[in-house]
Each structure stands twice: as structure tokens, then as C-alpha cells.
Chain A
Amino acid sequence: MRVADVVTAAVLFLLGGVVVFDAVRLGVGWGSDGPQSGFFPFWLAVIAMASCLAIIVQAARRSDGAPFLTREQARPVLKVLVPAVGLVLATHAVGLYVAAALYMGVYMRWIGGHRWVTVVALGVGIPLVTFVIFERWFLVPLPKGPLEAWLGY
């Protein structure tokens, strides 16, 4: 937990540094019409960097050995995160509806071990319901791919 605390604060500190860098480029002083663009981000980032240093000092003084994430905890987290990345990648290729069907199907079968009947019924049914609600009722277009194009949408 301590290591994770220090690493997170260090990353945020670096991000703050990036912000300061860009703010200085934009000008942090007084322009012809009031404070320049970099004024507000500059002071935010400076205070943030100082706070991150304080967090690092706090964490370094504390002694606790509890790990941030055990192997047993990491597995289910990755099991959600990795397929979710797959869902977004697939959406780029085949549109959201097909990607959602595949993603839900894979998840229900692979992690849940559900019967094929359930997997297919929900995997096809839920995207269809979504389609009706979003595209038909509320006229909110979602990403579509070749299948929808072939069906004429």
C-alpha cells in the first residue's frame, strides 16, 4: 500500500510538472486583458505538486506492509478490465451492438459458465433492446459497423 501511495503521488507530481511547463509557455502573469491563460493552471499545479510531496513524505514515514493488490484480488479485476478493453477495440471494428453481443457472450460463457441458451438469448436480446431504445425511441445514434450497414442502417 505504501509503495502504491508513493508511486501514485509521484505520478501526480510529474503530471503537475507537465502542467507547470505548459502553463509557463502560455504565460502565467498579467496580460493586456487580465490574467494570462497559464495563470490558473500554473498555481493549481504548483500547489498540487507541493501536496504530492507532502503525501510522499507522509507515506514514507508510515510503516505498513499490506500489499496494494494481492494476486487473488488482481485476477478478477483483470478479468473485468481486459475484456472491457476488448469491447472498446471491437466497437471500433464492428460497431457497438455487435461488440456488446460478443463481449457479453464471451463473459457469460467464459467467466460465468452459463448455458449456451442463456448466453445466446441475452447476448442477442440485450443489444436488440438497446437498439430499439436508443436508435428508435430516443434517436441517439450509437457506433454501427458492417452488419448494421448490411441491414440498411
Chain B
Amino acid sequence: MGLENLFLGFEIAVTPFNLFVAVAGIALGTIIGVLPGLGGANGVAILLPLTFTMPPTSAIILLTSIYWGALFGGAITSILFNIPGEPWSVATTFDGYPMAQQGQGGQALTAAFTSSFVGALFSIVLITFFAPALAEIALRFGPPEFFAIQFLTFSSFVGLGGGNPIKSLVSILFGFILAAVGLDIVTGQLRLTFGVTDLMKGFNFIVAVIGLFGIGEILLSVEEGLRFRGTRTGMSLKVVLDTWKILPRYWRTFVRGSVIGFWMGFKPGGATPASFMSYAFAKRFSRHPERFGKGELEGIVAPETAAHSAGVAAMLPMITLGIPGSPTAAVMLGGLIIWGLQPGPMLFKENPDFVWGLIASMYTGNVIGILMVLACVPVFAAILRIPFAILTPLIVVVCAIGAYAVNNAMIDIWYMLLFGVVGYVFKKLDYPLAPLVLALVLGDLSENALRQSLIMSQGSLGIFFTRPIAAVITALAVFFFVLPVITPWWKRRRAAGAP
């Protein structure tokens, strides 16, 4: 059943224009991934206004291609410069940078790109087969089930996100509060505007993403006195082919990484823990655990496979439930709404060409991506040799353009600066930013789901526990919320019980 749809998707994805869009997107994405201060989420946010005049399918192909490119680009900086562009590239630096220092940068990069490709492909295949089924189930969901899923999304940040759970909670709550500013579409009342006209439109999450992740990140990196001390790399067809001969040896690591990545990835914030988990497993099962951290090829394969498998898996809840699994997916979801599409399970019924074009483009995009990055590593690495005093103002200007172009409003550039400072302070004080962005994106959807549920139940919260599917999801969410409370208690009890 899925295959003919997939063929339909390929017919859309391989038109010359869409292939061109994919190539351009991957090139831009890789540059964005390599540049400090620009990652997947805000790169996609900045370029979103350029898609307003495109057909939606080409637009989503551009944005997803930027995302793939940014994922590949993160590996380049991690291995050659020891700078993880994204949190999930941190584990890649453990063995990637030592290898580059030993003059094996080419092998390390080949392994990283190939692992990314394998991990991504694994998740794409699973999405191809699972997404229609999941959408079918989700079609039967009512407001209580949707609210329960959103509740689960945010509970997993608190319970599984690591870091300070209370600060995660505060991030989520203020994301929702920011989303509530402006006109309440249900009652037509103005909320939290205090008579200020500029607040009536509310806060645009794209501007928030650009500020929090873009400007905030630049402030952090200049504070740390960022210096790029890159290693040079020799990349040739021979190196690539030789590395490909060794890689099948690590097939177990590939499988393990892909499965961990997919499992962690369709829940929010999963890519980073997935990469670390996969690295830890690879080390534990290795016959030479002592080599890890000193330049072991398997130490690159494991985190890269998992991170990219997770990065792709984050798209699954976005297209089937309308709930993004990562900040980047959240920005894409915002794009869907701007292009006039209704995110969620109805997409499969109403816009099959869009959904299947998107899924097919994941295959083509990743194939094009790996070929492009393998061929162009020196070009992309050269970007980091651009002097800092040229890169910084350029990135600030690009961010400002992106923020302005969303609504053609000057006030948004001011908001961007404000969010930049907030992002900087929050990051330093360990408040996570991803849940704030997700809450800002999902704010109206969550609130409407909650309101409709309460109207259905005449104001009783019991509705989330009496409908079977909602009850299971809500129970799981409550469990995640209390997890940070029970874990220390449980540990203490075990410690006290043991002699």
C-alpha cells in the first residue's frame, strides 16, 4: 500500500526543480552547520521567508535539505575543529578530533558521513512504513488524546531531558506564556498586551528561534573566546573507498546506533542522549574499549549513526501528529501553517502529494547530501578559516534579515536581540531552550486541545483519565513528570537497604 504512494512521491521529488532545490538546500545547510551560531533550527528559520513564494512541496524539500546539510556540517566542525556545532555532535568529537590530529581526518569524516547516511536511511525506511499507520490511528484522536500527547512531549523534557528538571519546567511554562500573548482567537479578548499595540500580534516563534539560538549562540561563543584551530585534511577517493572497506566490520554498531536513534528520536530532545547512549554501548561491547577516546573509528560510527537516525525520526511525529520532535521540526511545522497546510494526520488524506513528496525527498536528499559533502569537505572546512571579525557581523546581519522578513516588521529585529540576550542568560544558567521553543510553537494548539477537552467534560480533568488512549498517555506523562522526584528517592532507599 505504501509503495505506490512512495513512487508517487519520487515522481515529485526528482523533478529537476525539486532536485535543484535539494542541492541548494544541502549546500546552504552544510554552510549553516559549519558556521558557529547558525544551526539547523535557526538556519531553517532564517531561510523560511524565502519559501513563501514557492510551492509547498518544494518549500519543505528546501527546508529538510537544509536540515540534512546542517546535520552533515556539524560533523565537519566536530572532527576537524573539535567544535561541536550541535549538542548531538559532542560525542563525535571524542574520537573524531584525535583521528584528525593523527592525520586521519579523511577517514574520520568518511566514517561520520557514511554513519549519518546509514542512520538516516534506517529512520526514513521506518517512517515510510510507520507514518501512514500512525496517521491512521491519530485520525481517531480527539482533543483529549492530542492534549495528552502534548503533555507527554513536555513531560519527557522534564523527566528525560537531563539537567535541572525545575528549570526545564520553567522554560516550558514561559514558552506557553509567550504563546498566549496577543489575541485570544476563541474569545476575541486581548491577553497580556497591557494596551501595547505591538504586543497584539504576539511573539513569533521564528523570531524567537533566531534570537535564542542564533544571537544567543554568538554571544556565548565570543565569550568563550572562540578560536578555530583546525586540522587540515586530505580527502581523496582512495581514502573514501578504503574507509568503506573497513566500515562493514562495524555492522553491529550501525544497527545498534540506528535502533537507539530511532527509539530516542521520535520523542523530543532525543538526538543528544541517543548519540551518547550509542557511544557508551559501542564502548562497552567493543573488544578494545581502551582505544575509545583516542581515535577509534567505531567511536565516530556509533554517535553519528544514532544522532542522524534520531534527527530523521523527529520528523515522524511532525508529519503524523502535528507535534514536532525537535526545534528544527518545530520551525518546519510553522512553515506548514504559513504555506496553508494543516499539520497532523489529515495531511496524509488531504495532501498526499506533499507528504509523499517529502518522504521521497528524504531518500534523495540524503543520497545527494552524502555525495556532496564527501566531494566538498575542503570547501566547507575553508569557511571556518574566514576571520572571526567578518563572520560575526555577517551572521548578525543574516539573523536580522531573517527576523525582519517573517512579518516585515522592525519590532521583530528588536525582539530578536531581546531573545538573544535571554537565550544567552538561559544557556549560561542551564535553562534548556528547546522546550521553550516547542511550547511557543505548540501554545495555541495545546490550549485549544485543553479547552475543547474541558468543554467535552464540562470542566472535569477526569476526561484525560477515562478515555483509554488518553489515559495511557497521560499516565506515562505524569510518570515522566515525577521521575526526577522518584529517582533520588529510589536511589536513597536502595542505598539504605543495602548493607
Contact = CB atoms under 8 A, between A and B. Distances in A.
Asked if A and B are interacting partners, one says: yes
B454 to A, nearest CB: 6
A16 B397 CA distance: 33
B174 A140 contact: no
Nearest to B431: A8
A141 B410 CA distance: 12
Interface string B363-404: 000000000000000000000000111101110110011001
A132 interface: no
Nearest to B452: A34
A114 B387 contact: yes
Interface in A1-53: 1, 4-5, 8-9, 12, 15-16, 18-19, 22-23, 26, 30-31, 33-41, 44-45, 47-48, 51-52
Interface string B182-211: 001011010110100000000000000000
B4 interface: no
A48 B222 contact: no
B466 interface: no
B428 interface: yes
B397 A87 contact: yes
Contacts of B174: 12, 15, 48
Interface stretch (B49-57, B274-282, B300-308): B49-57
A140 B176 contact: no
Interface in A61-113: 68-69, 73, 76-77, 79-81, 83-85, 87-88, 91-92, 96, 100, 103-104, 107-108, 111-113
Given A40-B447, A41-B192, A81-B421, A108 B405 contact: no
Nearest to A122: B390
A88 B404 CA distance: 11
B180 interface: yes
Given A40-B180, A80-B222, A108 B187 contact: no
A113 B166 contact: no
Interface string B261-284: 000000000000000000000000
A107 B192 contact: no
A7 to B, nearest CB: 10
Contacts, number: 169
A36 B53 CA distance: 38
Nearest to B225: A76
A126 B189 CA distance: 44
B425 interface: yes
Chain B interface residue count: which class?
Answer: 35 or more
Contacts of A26: 189, 191
Contact of A104 (B50, B177, B394, B408): B394
Nearest to A138: B50
Interface residues of A, number: 69
Contacts of A84: 215, 396, 417, 420
Contact of A88 (B186, B223, B389, B414): B414
B425 A8 contact: yes
Nearest to B395: A80
A111 B389 contact: yes
A92 B413 CA distance: 11
B222 A76 contact: yes
Contact of B397 (A5, A18, A81, A103): A103
Given A37-B187, A37-B189, A48-B177, A140 B405 contact: yes
Nearest to B403: A88
A114 B169 CA distance: 46
Interface centre among B49, B53, B400, B414 (most CB of A within 10 A): B400
Given A12-B170, A134-B405, A104 B393 contact: yes
A37 B192 CA distance: 11
A140 B51 CA distance: 10
Contacts of B421: 81
Contacts of B390: 104, 108, 112, 114, 118, 122
Contacts of B387: 112, 114
A68 B223 CA distance: 12
Given A37-B189, A108-B389, A126-B397, A52 B222 contact: no
Contact of A55 (B167, B176, B428): B167
B340 to A, nearest CB: 18
Contact of A38 (B191, B389, B454): B191
Nearest to B398: A130
B400 A88 contact: yes
B33 to A, nearest CB: 20
Interface centre among A69, A80, A104, A114 (most CB of B within 10 A): A80
Contacts of B184: 37
B400 A87 contact: yes
Interface of B: 49-50, 52-53, 164, 166-167, 169-170, 173-174, 176-177, 180, 184, 186-187, 189, 191-192, 194, 215, 218-219, 222-223, 225, 387-390, 392-394, 396-397, 400-401, 404-405, 408, 410, 413-414, 417, 420-421, 424-426, 428-429, 447, 450-452, 454-455, 459
26 contacts: A19-B177, A22-B191, A35-B450, A38-B191, A40-B451, A41-B191, A44-B173, A45-B173, A51-B166, A51-B169, A51-B173, A58-B166, A77-B222, A77-B223, A77-B424, A83-B393, A85-B417, A91-B410, A111-B389, A112-B387, A112-B388, A114-B390, A130-B397, A134-B405, A142-B401, A142-B405
Given A37-B186, A48-B170, A91-B400, 8 more contacts: A18-B192, A51-B169, A69-B223, A88-B414, A108-B390, A111-B389, A126-B397, A140-B405
Interface of A: 1, 4-5, 8-9, 12, 15-16, 18-19, 22-23, 26, 30-31, 33-41, 44-45, 47-48, 51-52, 54-55, 58, 68-69, 73, 76-77, 79-81, 83-85, 87-88, 91-92, 96, 100, 103-104, 107-108, 111-114, 118, 122, 126, 130, 134, 138-143
